[in-house]
Structure 1
Amino acid sequence: MENYILNVKREHTSWGARKIRERRLRRFSGIPIPAKSTIHAVLDRHGLVERRGRLRHRAHGTALSLGQKPNELWCTDYKGEFLLGNHQYCYPLTVTDHASRFLLTGEALSSTCEDYAFTVFEKLFKERGLPANIRSDNGVPFASAHALFNLSKLAVWWLRLGIGIERIKPGHPQQNGRHERMHLTLKKEATKPAVVIFLCEAE
């Protein structure tokens, strides 16, 4: 049976387990036919299964609110990647209130890992309450290219809390302009001179 499966596959390279099984059924209707999963396993064992790449969802911007009152709109992003004096990288996660331009938090993290972001926002929500909307770019951990509607676990959590998700268009940082200008000020004040030795000092 295995030889038959391999011979049919070599004869019809584009066929998968389903078509091979259908052909076997038509030609040998009176004998037991292996399940599609069994045929697929044979093909896989011999390296004859084509692997499909994970589907990527192209990022698009969403509608953007004006955020004219405090807590109507928060803006968030990472201020790049900084190499510290101890050769450890620092990823500052910042959140501002759009209306007041107030810096709500600036956490020096060792990674853009989603778990770290959860911790920062959990603490911030307890201290400041929940905003109506949060605006970010389409990067990790705010979005996920492999998820439906690009929704990361962090974004799904925000939605469950009743927070609206706003995304700027890829390549349009000016749509988060106030936050970007704050980052320029932060960079001037915090990195010149760059004498930070340990991650805890960056906070």
Structure 2
Amino acid sequence: MRRAHPAWGGRKISKVLQREGTGSPAPSTVTGILHRNGVELGLLGGGAKPFGRFEHAAPNDLWQMDFKGHVALRQGGRLHPLTALDDHSRFSVVLQACINETGETVKAHLIVAFRRYGLPQRMAFDNGPPWGDGGRSNFTRFTVWL
């Protein structure tokens, strides 16, 4: 079956065997059989690709910033986790529980981070508030401030 379909791995072959009524070996068993017979998996498509981590060359080359959703509070309202990560070190330069997602709130926390860690060369963030306006304009008050 593998010769006929070189991109298939243990999970696919196991499912096909089960569907055809030929047998129902576990995917790990099929993968083990393929390995014992010298078949290399993942080279011709299918399966997970190797993880490729990117990393900037030096601290403060790039900070990645975002609000990570929100958390409902028992007494009402929401908490908004604000994060800013240095792309070189993966160090969290900002990790703050905020009461809102406004530009003024973000500015206040960024000023503290800038004073403590210096200014980044670049910042990456999505196009939602307060950073962007959904793509309608190249600049917002917040990006002009930055």
Report the alpha carbon displacement of residue 85 of structure 1 after superposing the two structures with TM: 2.3
Residue 152 (structure 1) aligned to one of 127, 130, 140: 140
Q: Deviations over 1:4-24 (max 9, x none)?
A: xxxxxxxxxxxxxxxxxxxxx
One-letter amino acid of the structure 1 residue matched with residue 144 of structure 2:
V
Q: Give the whole-Å Cα distance in 2 for the aligned partners of 1:98 and 1:107.
A: 18
Q: TM-score, normalised by structure 2?
A: 0.59
Q: How do residues 68-83 of structure 1 correspond to structure 2 at under 5 angstroms? A: 68-83=57-72
Report the alpha carbon displacement of residue 70 of structure 1 after superposing the two structures with TM: 0.7
8 A contact 2:64–2:86 mirrored in 1: yes
Q: Which one has a bigger Cα radius of gyration?
A: 1
2:115 aligned with 1:126, yes or no? yes
Q: TM-score, normalised by structure 1?
A: 0.43
Report the alpha carbon displacement of residue 147 of structure 1 after superposing the two structures with TM: 5.7
Gaps of 5+ in 1: 1-64, 159-203
Report the alpha carbon displacement of residue 118 of structure 1 after superposing the two structures with TM: 1.0
Gaps of 5+ in 2: 1-53
What is the total number of aligned residue pairs between the two structures?
A: 93
Q: Give the whole-Å Cα distance in 1 for the aligned partners of 2:131 and 2:140.
A: 6
The aligned counterpart of 1:137 is 126
Q: Give the whole-Å Cα distance in 1 for the aligned partners of 2:129 and 2:72.
A: 20
One-letter amino acid of the structure 1 residue matched with residue 61 of structure 2:
E
Q: Give the whole-Å Cα distance in 1 for the aligned partners of 2:137 and 2:55.
A: 26
The aligned counterpart of 1:67 is 56
One-letter amino acid of the structure 2 residue matched with residue 140 of structure 1:
P
SS at match of 1:134: strand
- Aligned CA RMSD, in angstroms, stands at 1.8
8 A contact 2:127–2:135 mirrored in 1: no
Q: Give the whole-Å Cα distance in 1 for the aligned partners of 2:137 and 2:128.
A: 15
Report the alpha carbon displacement of residue 142 of structure 1 after superposing the two structures with TM: 0.8
Report the alpha carbon displacement of residue 125 of structure 1 after superposing the two structures with TM: 0.7
